[in-house]
Amino acid sequence: MEKMNIGMVGAGFMAKAHSIAYAGMPMFFWPAPAIPVKKIIADVNETLAKEAKEKFAFETYTTNWQDIVNDPNIDVVDICTPNNTHAEIAIAAAKAGKHILCEKPLSLTPSEAKDMYIAARDNKVTTMVAFNYRRTPAVQLAKKYIDEGALGDILDFRGTYLQDWSADPSSPLSWRFQKDICGSGALGDIGTHVVDMLRFLVGDFARVNARTATYIKDRPIQNAGIDSLGNVKADNTTPRKPVDVDDQCIFMIECKNGAFGSIEATRNAWGRNNYITFEIHGTKGSVYFNYERRDELQVCFADDKSDRRGFRTVYTGPNHPYGDGLWPIPALGIGYTETKIVETYDFFKAIAESGETSPNFRDGYAIELISDAILTSARTRSWVEVPEIEEN
């Protein structure tokens, strides 16, 4: 079976998720499209890089990502670094003919995303942006209902992504709160996951009307190390610096097909952990998904007898999308790891077969255009058209 050599850039939380996915993918999906070989991992921090090599079972490590891009033996460059580094690494990797899996959001700005998309397209490499939640079987099942027309015409939808890991003002100012590193706050970090899912399920966004806010205006400086995601608190002697991105965003959306909806995202919602939800209503039925109960899809059909009509639960399992690879009994339970394993599987399958995948860099660019329109709308307090993708 063909082997694919992986060079991973970044040694934090996402490197852990992707490394587990590479190890697990052939165990779930056999025959695997190719066997991932964890060749080399890079991090600017040598201690982290060295430790990651051992922990995540890479053959070697480097502190210089160029070593990966310049290595002719590497087939896939996997970018798990903060957002401000994605464009430079991805463009160099595309020019070197490497396939690229890149963490979300794709970039800091639409113009960076465009350059990444064009570099990948012109060098004919396969790309994927790691919006993993759409790969949950229940989300794919919702897509199947919609594509089969079981919900009729889609009328409206609402989506949320609510977390609370940064609700405490003593939670540090990691890179996720610094505009020059992350681009935007809750919007880019988590709101874009829901944008990706609803764009996938309902269709392309035409215009948006948004409000953003920054409730915690400064945070204690994080000295070093990987993102602690709220688990490490600073004491009150630690110097603080301003937060220059959104804490919270809420926006309305009009889709090109006329469907209308709303999305909200915050990392300051006490009591909410990874509360990714959507509800979609059509002329013939509705679906409801909550990632915190990710094996379930709630469905309701207008055609049911009126005295039986109501939401019922479908537990995903072997008869559902990815069921031939995942667990053999419905509701045995999938987790974050399985969504990443499926992501790896789809990415490798695309490399081995058609080269086509989704969400690819073109989709990542489309989402950057939407995010930018959302920020403009919040600033101008008006509806903003989402610009079309520029192909050249």
**Could you list the residues that contact ligand SOE (CB under 6 A)?**
163, 189-190, 229, 267
Amino acid identity, position 356? E
Residue whose Cβ sits closest to ligand SOE: 189
Q: Is 152 exposed, middle or buried (0-12, 13-18, 19+ CB in 10 A)?
A: middle
CB of 250 to ligand SOE, least distance (A): 17
* CA within 13 Å, CB half, 295: 16
CB of 371 to ligand SOE, least distance (A): 14
CB of 107 to ligand SOE, least distance (A): 15
CB of 123 to ligand SOE, least distance (A): 27
Dist CA 211 CA 198 (whole Å): 19
Among residues 31, 55, 52, 54, the alpha carbon closest in space to that of 42 is found at 52
Question: Whose Cβ is closer to ligand SOE: residue 87's or residue 197's?
Answer: 197
For the chain, what's the residue count?
392
What is the secondary structure of 46-69 as a DSSP string? HHHHHHHHHHTT-SEEES-HHHHH
Question: Whose Cβ is closer to ligand SOE: residue 37's or residue 229's?
Answer: 229
Question: Whose Cβ is closer to ligand SOE: residue 229's or residue 352's?
Answer: 229
Among residues 186, 14, 139, the alpha carbon closest in space to that of 86 is found at 14
Question: Whose Cβ is closer to ligand SOE: residue 265's or residue 384's?
Answer: 265
Question: Whose Cβ is closer to ligand SOE: residue 267's or residue 362's?
Answer: 267
Element (H, E) at 389: none
CB of 58 to ligand SOE, least distance (A): 22
Dist CA 365 CA 367 (whole Å): 5
Dist CA 264 CA 274 (whole Å): 13
CB of 341 to ligand SOE, least distance (A): 15
Residue ranges in 280-358 assigned as alpha helix (H) = 336-352
CB of 163 to ligand SOE, least distance (A): 6
Angle at the Cα of 232 from the Cα atoms of 228 and 235, rounded to 5 degrees: 140
Question: Whose Cβ is closer to ligand SOE: residue 286's or residue 371's?
Answer: 371
Are the CB atoms for 32 and 25 separated by under 8 Å? yes
Question: Whose Cβ is closer to ligand SOE: residue 62's or residue 163's?
Answer: 163
Amino acid identity, position 357? T
CB of 148 to ligand SOE, least distance (A): 29
N-terminal to C-terminal alpha carbon distance within the chain? 38
Question: Whose Cβ is closer to ligand SOE: residue 39's or residue 294's?
Answer: 294
Among residues 139, 151, 137, the alpha carbon closest in space to that of 320 is found at 137
Are the CB atoms for 84 and 183 separated by under 8 Å? yes
CB of 229 to ligand SOE, least distance (A): 6
Question: Whose Cβ is closer to ligand SOE: residue 39's or residue 267's?
Answer: 267
